[in-house]
């Protein structure tokens, strides 16, 4: 399944329409600051959730967000027809629980028609009810955020989804790691193995102005207990679950070399009012905003805020915005 899935992804780059996508991907890879088209687009179709996790960057997800209603069909159509979306090959749904949105599967079908893979990040509480709707021949990804307290419900939904023979959906797990739950990595591997899931993203969460005060991000360097624990976990996974593919939290780089952000070099997150967020941790109204696809022709290059943020990378860490300085997406060239 894993290799055929990647083969399908490769096919989405083939003509017609494939070559400009390849050129766009190369420009992104080169960290070209003036890139006009997103590679991956975050479509914030919903800003509400049926859970209320302490580390959730947007604390009030369990309530309807007054600033961002759900993205309706007209708005969705406008967004995916916008210039910045022209050569994207991948779209993610957020920033709450996408399975709460009635139109989710209609939106996935619209993306697939354009050879765009969708990634639905979900807490899986609604998978039991909605798993049959993932009946697409085109490959899509379901990323389940694993939470110990609801693991029975999650495993039921995942089993039903993976048992369905009519879809090409690839299931992966995300486990958000903070200082408080770093010990839960081994049990996440066990949960994954019990369901036949082959991919886990152990991912640090990024603290934002809305993160609840009693949640502590995992910011560490190479010489700490956290680093040792993660090194032990890597060895444990290799010996016990050799087929499992895991991405691990990594230390915040301290090198004085030029830095860049992997997320920012891929593309924006778009809200229902057309406003743009550079990533899930920097909200649309921070620092005067980052443009709006309903107002700017292309915020990625026309908007001062977006360009300022992009150009703050490629230099030293001191020049970065505060949120970026301790962000684990930060990397060095
Ligand atoms: S399930 Fe996800 S979106 Fe919902 S509250 Fe938890 S972290 Fe936030
Ligand atoms: S480095 Fe900055 S722009 Fe990039 S993901 Fe982190 S907070 Fe967002």
Residue 310 falls in which region: left (phi positive, over 0), alpha (psi -120 to 50) or beta: alpha
Ligand nearest to the CA of 308: 2
Beta strands in 184-303 (DSSP E): 199-204, 245-247, 259-261, 269-270, 276-277
Taking a C-beta distance cutoff of 8 angstroms, is the pair 233, 185 a contact?
A: yes
Angle at 78 between CA 73 and CA 79, to 5 degrees: 100
Mean pLDDT to the nearest integer, 206-229: 78
Instruction: For 230-286, write each residue's pLDDT tens digit.
Output: 999 999 999 999 999 999 988 876 665 667 787 776 889 999 999 998 888 888 888
Ligand nearest to the CA of 53: 1
Q: Which residue has the higher pLDDT, 56 or 298?
A: 298
**Model pTM?**
0.90
pLDDT of residue 222: 78
pLDDT of residue 259: 75
Of 142, 143, 138, nearest to 116 by C-alpha is 138
Nearest ligand 2 atom to the CA of 323 is: 7
Token pair in block for residue 91: 């779209």
What is the whole-number distance in angstroms between the Cα of residue 258 and the centre of ligand 2? 15
Q: Which residue has the higher pLDDT, 259 or 68?
A: 68
Provide the 8-state DSSP code for 236. Answer: H
Asked if the model's pLDDT at residue 333 lies above 60, the reply is no
Question: Which of 324, 326, 332 is the best mutation target for the ligand 2 pocket, counting ligand atoms within 8 Å of the beta carbon and taking the most?
Answer: 324
Q: Whose CA is nearest to atom 5 of ligand 1?
A: 52
Confidence of residue 132 (pLDDT cuts 50, 70, 90): very high
Q: How far is CA 143 from CA 20, 121, 303, in A?
A: 28, 5, 32
Instruction: For 12-58, write each residue's pLDDT tens digit.
Output: 666 566 777 787 777 777 766 677 888 889 999 998 888 877 667 65
Question: Which of 205, 264, 307 is the best mutation target for the ligand 2 pocket, counting ligand atoms within 8 Å of the beta carbon and taking the most?
Answer: 264
Share of the chain above pLDDT 90, in %: 44
């Amino acid at each position: 399944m894993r290799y055929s899935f990647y083969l399908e992804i490769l096919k989405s780059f083939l003509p017609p329409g494939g070559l400009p996508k390849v050129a766009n991907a190369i420009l992104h890879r080169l960290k070209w600051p003036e890139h006009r088209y997103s590679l991956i687009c975050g479509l914030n179709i919903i800003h509400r959730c049926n859970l209320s996790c302490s580390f959730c960057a947007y604390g009030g997800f369990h309530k309807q967000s007054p600033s961002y209603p759900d993205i309706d069909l007209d708005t969705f159509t406008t967004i995916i027809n916008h210039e910045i979306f022209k050569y994207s090959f991948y779209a993610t749904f957020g920033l709450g629980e996408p399975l709460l949105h009635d139109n989710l599967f209609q939106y996935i079908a619209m993306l697939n028609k354009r050879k765009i893979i969708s990634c639905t990040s979900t807490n899986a509480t609604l998978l039991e009810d909605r798993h049959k709707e993932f009946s697409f021949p085109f490959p899509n990804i379901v990323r389940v955020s694993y939470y110990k307290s609801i693991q029975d419900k999650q495993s039921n939904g995942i089993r039903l989804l993976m048992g369905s023979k009519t879809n090409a959906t690839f299931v992966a797990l995300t486990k958000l790691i903070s200082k408080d739950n770093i010990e839960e990595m081994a049990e996440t591997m066990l949960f994954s193995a019990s369901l036949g899931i082959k991919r886990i993203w152990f991912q640090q969460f990024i603290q934002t102005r809305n993160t609840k005060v009693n949640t502590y991000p995992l910011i560490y360097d190479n010489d700490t207990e956290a680093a040792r624990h993660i090194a032990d976990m890597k060895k444990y996974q290799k010996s016990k679950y050799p087929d499992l593919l895991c991405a691990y939290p990594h230390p915040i780089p301290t090198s004085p070399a030029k830095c860049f952000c992997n997320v920012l070099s891929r593309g924006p997150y778009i809200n229902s009012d057309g406003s743009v967020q550079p990533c899930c941790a920097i909200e649309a109204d921070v620092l005067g905003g980052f443009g709006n696809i309903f107002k700017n022709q292309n915020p990625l290059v026309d908007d001062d805020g977006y360009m300022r943020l992009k150009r703050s990378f490629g230099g030293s860490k001191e020049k970065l915005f505060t949120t970026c300085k301790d962000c684990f997406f930060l990397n060095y060239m």
